[in-house]
Each structure stands twice: as structure tokens, then as C-alpha cells.
Homo-oligomer: A and B are copies of this chain.
Amino acid sequence: MGRIPLRISGTVTRPTKLDLGDYLPYLANRVGNIIADHFGAHALAPHGLSIAMWRVMAVLAANGSQRQIDLADLTSIDSSTLSRMVTRLVRMRLVTRTRSAKSNREVAVELSPKGKALVAELIPIARDYEAIAIAGLSREELDVLKRCLRQIYANMKTRVAPDSL
């Protein structure tokens, strides 16, 4: 993994600045957060939902009934946090939590009718925010952008979990 120090007049020098405006992880994080913050403040907060809760509901809407551990994996939320979050969502009558049929230690989390209705209401708004975000980008640029992001995620994912090594 060759970081090559530049050698100037016999002395090894390393750059001591990182131009954050050109640093990909920073750019990606910033973009992901600013969109989420706007959507959260305008669309989610009125319903008492956090961004994390929204992600859970979106995953449930897209993939159907899930075990908590799968939800945790798909949303990158710690399973203990998720457990308490599902409790809250159940209290809000947005999801149901039932013991799985085939395995008594598993739990099946599912959108309730009320949850489905709310997701259906929020999805177009989420799309609106995406549209605002990508304004001015061409179809081709957008394709490249998404493909690259998927590729990068795959690159990091195969690089094993962040805690191993």
C-alpha cells in the first residue's frame, strides 16, 4: 500500500495538510448528512421520527418483514439500539414485532398498516429531496456517480469488518 513520501533535497517531507474539499470520504459524508438533515428536519420531525427510524422503515418497506439482526445489518444501527428503537416504533404503532414462527428466539419486525401509510406518504418527499440534490447533473453523470458509490462501498466491504485486523 505504497504511500510514497516525496523527497526534496535529501529530506523526506510529508504533506501536513489534507484538502478536505478534495477528500472523498469527507465529501461523501458531508453530502449524505446534509440531505438527511434537511429531510429529517422538514419531513421526519413533524412525525416524531429520527433519520435512523426512517431508514428502518424504508428497509422494511423495500424488503418486507425482517429480523432485528438483519435490520441492524442493513441500516448499520447497533442491535441494542435497534431493539429499543423497535420498541418505540411499536409504541407509535408504526411496526409490529412478533416472535418468528420458525425460531422462537428470532423476532419478525414488520410495517403496520399505519406504518405503510406513513412510508407511502414520505417516499415521494424523499424523492423530492433527491431531485433537489441532483439538480443540474446530467443523466450520465448521475449514472457514473451512483455506480462509483456502489463500487466504493463494495471495495470497503470486502476489506473485512472495521474491527478485524
Contact = CB atoms under 8 A, between A and B. Distances in A.
A130 B38 contact: no
B14 A120 contact: yes
A134 B24 contact: yes
Interface string A140-165: 01101111111111011101001101
Majority DSSP secondary structure for residues of A touching B: helix
A36 interface: yes
Interface stretch (A57-65, A89-97, A100-108): A57-65
Nearest to A137: B148
B145 A21 contact: no
A25 B39 contact: yes
A42 to B, nearest CB: 7
A49 interface: no
Given A16-B61, A141-B144, A162-B40, A153 B34 contact: yes
A20 to B, nearest CB: 6
Given A162-B40, A162-B42, A28 B25 contact: no
Residue in A134, A151, A156 whose Cβ sees the most chain B Cβ within 10 Å? A156
25 contacts: A3-B127, A3-B128, A5-B124, A16-B119, A16-B120, A18-B58, A19-B62, A20-B62, A23-B126, A24-B146, A24-B149, A27-B153, A29-B32, A30-B153, A31-B149, A31-B156, A32-B32, A34-B157, A40-B162, A41-B162, A41-B163, A132-B155, A142-B148, A144-B145, A145-B148
